[in-house]
Amino acid sequence: MSILDYFSKDENRRAKFIFNLIAPFYGRIAKSVEENHRASMEKLAGIIDIKGKTVLDVGSGSGAWAKLFAQYGAEKVTGIDLAEKMVKVASEVYPEIEFFECNGEEMRKIQDNSYDIVTASFVLHGVKAPRRKMILEQMKRVARQYVVIRDFAGKVSLSVQILEALERSDFRNFKKNFCQEMRQVFGNCQMYATGNNGGLYVGKI
């Protein structure tokens, strides 16, 4: 891939370039926000029962969010990501978890109703509403009990706004509309604030 991919109109091509580019540093970034990850997981564990569940993490990145499900008692955790270098990083850091390359909106390799919980952490704000719906529909298809989205839910700092602008994400529209988008797919959506501009959006199957 080349810098030209960053300017592509194809969102997947652009995202793949960005995350392959930052993959060597992403593990360090993830460690710096581990406290926020853990606070969100602690909140989630009080909302739904994680112990003994099977979990699919969509857009797993460095694998830090997936790892927390395992630490909180999930029986089996699998992570997928469209960036092959991210998959390599996650597999090296967390060899006990299965990670493989897969696009979140085209999860043909994964059978219907094959995971108790399907989750994504700070992924869906990065794509426009039509693609968010496609990904949510795929997540619903492979989930048995819950779909859990961890993402923006409040005001964000200027530095985050700059980073999101560079990523060319849709985070402003995401924050305004995402609960309604979840309801269109699941018929329900509960949002739980987790602090640090984040929240958990929970859809029940």
Domains defined for the chain, CATH in brackets:
3-204 (3.40.50.150)
Does the structure show a pLDDT above 70 at 153?
A: yes
Amino acid present at 168: R
Give Cβ neighbours of residue 57 (< 8 Å, ≥ 6 apart). Answer: 63, 65, 66, 69, 77, 78, 79, 80, 119, 120, 121
Inter-residue contact 103 to 83 (CB < 8 Å): no
pLDDT, residue 189, reads: 94
Give Cβ neighbours of residue 197 (< 8 Å, ≥ 6 apart). Answer: 152, 153, 154, 155, 156, 157, 160
Does the structure show a pLDDT above 60 at 26?
A: no
Reported as half-sphere exposure (CB side, CA atoms, 13 A), residue 31 has a value of: 6
pLDDT, residue 15, reads: 52
What pTM value is reported for the model? 0.83
